[in-house]
Structures are given as C-alpha cells and as structure tokens.
Amino acid sequence: MTRFGRYGGIYVPETLMVPIEELTEAFEYFRANPLFQKELNELLSTYAGRPTPITFVPTFSDKVQAKVYLKREDLLHTGAHKLNNSLGQALLAKRMGKRRLIAETGAGQHGVATATAAARLGMECVVYMGTTDMKRQAHNVVRMRLLGAEVRPVSAGSRTLKDAINEALRDWVSNLASTHYCLGSALGPHPYPTMVREFQRVIGDEAKIQFREMTGRLPDTVVACVGGGSNAIGIFTAFLNDSVKLIGVEAGGRGTGRGEHAARFMFDSDPLNHIGVLHGTETFLLQDEDGNILPTYSVSAGLDYPAVGPEHAFLFETKRASYSSISDDLAISAFKMLTQTEGIMPALESSHAIAYVIREMKGSNEFILINCSGRGDKDLSIVEDWMKGHGEL
C-alpha cells in the first residue's frame, strides 16, 4: 500500500524511481524473512537494549492527579527511539549490497543512531545537518564524528531539517549504486513511511504487553510528540484497534504567526487547503497561499519540520488520533518538572508530550502512557539559556 487514504504516494524524480522500487522490493522480502528478523531482533536485544521498560512516575502522577506511565525509549542505546529504525534500515541496506549510508538529522539523534548502526555493521556514513541545528545540538555533532561519520553542514534555506533532507536526497541521486538513504522519520515517498513505522512499531508492541502486565488493563490515553512522526506512529500502531485515545503533540513554538511554530494541524481555515507535497509524499504541511513552504521554528530541533508523516495526516482526517500543540515555554517547564519530581530528564521533543498531559489532563485520574522518546542531555545548553533568560540561574 503506497497511500494512507489520500496521503502518501511516490513523488520523486524519474532517476529515483528505480532505487525506490528496489528498496520496496527488498523491504517486502526481508520483512517476511525469518533470518533477517532474527538478526534484527538479536541486534535490538543484545546491542540496543530492548525491551525498554515502562516506568510509573508516582510523584509526577500525584501532581497532575492522573496515573502516568512512561515508555522509556530514553534508555535505548544512543538515548532515543531512532536506533530502532536505523538498525533496521542499515541491516536491510547491507543485505541489498550497499556499503554506504547517508542520513539527515535535526536534533542529531537520528544522525547518531545511523552513525552507530554504520559503525556496528562496518559501513561508511555521511550525515547532513543544518548549521542552525549543528549549533544547538553540538553535543550530537561530536558524537557522530567520534562514531566515524562525516557530518556535512547545510547552510541553505532555514539551515534546519528540511534543508538537510534536500541535501541528502541530492547525494542519493548521485550515488545510487553504493548508497542507501536512511530516512529517519515516517516521511518521504513510499516505502519510507511504512518501513519506518514497521521498524518503530516495536515500541508500541512492547508497551501494550508491558502496560497490561503492570496494570491489568490498557491505558486510557497514549501521548507522543510529533515532528515527522516516527516515535508517535511507533507507539500508536499497537493501539489503533483498541478503545484508547491517541494524542500527538506538535511544536507550538513561540507564537501562532508564520515562522513561529511547527504545528501543521493548527489552522485558521479548512485544513484541506494545507495539503501538499514535500520530500516525495502528499501530506499536511505549512505553506502559503501560493504553495510555498513556510519557515518553521521550535526550541526542539527534532520537531522543527514543515510537514508531518502521511499516516498521521490520515489518522487526523479520520479522527482516530487527535493533535495539539505546546509552546516552547510549556515544554521547558515540563522538562524541569519531570526532572525534578522523578529524576528522569526527557528530551525537549518528549517534553512537549509531557507538557500536554500537565496542561490538558490534570485531574483526569486517567491511566496515561507517554512515549518518552529520548533523553534530555542533548538539550541542556538550550534549557540553561532559557533558565538564564528567565532569571532562574
């Protein structure tokens, strides 16, 4: 299936159709291949550290008057959920005879995960990263380089994730025979949205079993941040056929004006007017009246992207999932609250989901599962600057 309702598809130059077809065929073959699945599962368990646990957060729960649990992707090797997908794609690429991985990254975690997978599997790795993101995620740039990856700065456009994807696609077109493009989120042309979802669904599959074992029931609500949407679709997928509310939380940034946020579902008019094509897929995106892509902003580099994965667009349109947005200030406040009440420091991306629970679900007494998609050490300099600016340091 190349589409989710009207969303998705394959919108690429003719030069990319052959590698897209090659990738689709290989993915469909190896996803059903027991030897491939065995090798991937061994990597996930003995190298990446799966299964990650679910943690009940009692003090935080008391403060918000709900029963809150975290799916701890922050405890996965490299510190975020991204490694699930990078190991899967890297192993697939190696089976296809590719020797070189390229990737884009915003917050740096996908770049780190891809560099890690490349190091483990003995492959060359090049990561494209906007210069704006390189400055605010300098810690992860060092990690990638130490892992043996070449980090190529991208100074075009907004110098963030969108522009890094553009450069990675140009590289792929020029090096098709040797190279696999390891796309980090549930975006892009088919088969990427499906492939990334399938490599990330381990999050939800584990969580569903674990939550039942811990509580004897399913959660009332599952909450996850949404940039491109890989961590959210990874946990949502297991609960799609259950009576569980699914909430995706976007970056509300510093305001509602153009260029001040990255909330694709936050429209003043008919959302269908905001459907377009970006990076090979048809989906919801931020664009002006003439179809030009609008600039975006978020304190969290991993949510700073003008489009959303096509399956999320489908879940929004069919009302199976709901989407909201959280401002920078609320996200940082949530970061601090979870850190101080539970000793768990979430990524700023995950902090948006935590902030949603604080703002919208206080006093609900619901059983809530939040996907803590990454750890927050990469964001310490950003939080420090914010605290200094608010007179807290």
Neighbours of 172 (CB within 10 A): 18
Rounded CA separation 264/250 (Å):
8
Respond yes or no: is residue 213 known to be catalytic: no
One of 73, 104, 282, 349 is an active-site residue; which one? 104
User: For residue 358, what are its two tokens?
Assistant: 């604080």
* Measured distance CA(85)–CA(87) in Å, rounded: 6
**Catalytic site includes residue 324:** no
Task: Answer yes or no: 373 catalytic.
Answer: yes
- Characterise 5 by phi-psi region: left (phi > 0), alpha (psi -120 to 50), beta (else): left
Catalytic residue among 71, 82, 98, 162: 82
Whole-angstrom distance, CA of residue 180 vs CA of residue 92: 9
Please tell me which residue in 158, 325, 373, 378 is annotated as part of the active site.
Answer: 373
Sign of the alpha-carbon torsion through 66, 265, 24, 184: negative
DSSP 116: H
CA distance 244 to 250: 20
N-to-C CA span, the chain = 52
Task: Classify the C-alpha dihedral 377-379-385-390 as positive or negative.
Answer: negative
Which residue has tokens 């997908």? 85
Give the DSSP letter string of 154-182.
E-STTSSHHHHHHHHHHHHHH-TTTEEE-
User: What is the 8-class DSSP label of residue 128?
Assistant: E
The answer to whether 260 and 296 have CB atoms below 8 angstroms apart is no
The label of the residue with tokens 């060092």 reads: 142
Q: Tell me which amino acid residue 213 is.
A: E
User: Mind telling me the catalytic residues?
Assistant: 82, 104, 373
